[in-house]
């Protein structure tokens, strides 16, 4: 959700983190692929319309195998 992404981006930025907030797993794959060592952590939702968080992480780990991930979900 764009509102949740924006709120989380604001909160993390206020805490001093540099945040790149995206609402598409395909955009995330493209952005990480353009500079794989730029990112220290991926924070993702497990449930997304285009693919699951696990599917996106598998793709990203091909690009950057050491990228730490925190996957969140509102579903149990």
Give the whole-angstrom CA distance, residue 29 versus residue 32. Answer: 5
Pull the structure tokens for residue 40: 């220290």
The per-residue pLDDT for 49 is 84
pTM for this prediction? 0.84
In this prediction, residue 73 has a pLDDT band, given cuts at 50, 70 and 90, of confident
The helix, strand and coil proportions of the chain, stated in percent and rounded to the nearest 5, come to 50, 10, 40
In whole angstroms, how far apart are CA 74 and each of 30, 32, 53, 59? 26, 25, 13, 23
pLDDT tens digit string along 10-38?
Answer: 999 999 999 999 999 999 999 999 999 99
Give the whole-angstrom CA distance, residue 16 versus residue 25. Answer: 24
């Amino acid at each position: 959700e764009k509102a949740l992404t924006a709120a989380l981006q604001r909160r993390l930025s206020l805490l001093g983190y540099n945040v790149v907030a995206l609402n598409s797993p395909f955009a995330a794959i493209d952005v990480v692929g353009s500079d794989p060592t730029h990112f220290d952590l991926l924070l993702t939702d497990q449930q997304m319309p285009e693919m699951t968080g696990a599917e996106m992480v598998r793709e990203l780990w091909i690009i950057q195998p050491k990228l730490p991930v925190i996957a969140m979900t509102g579903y149990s």
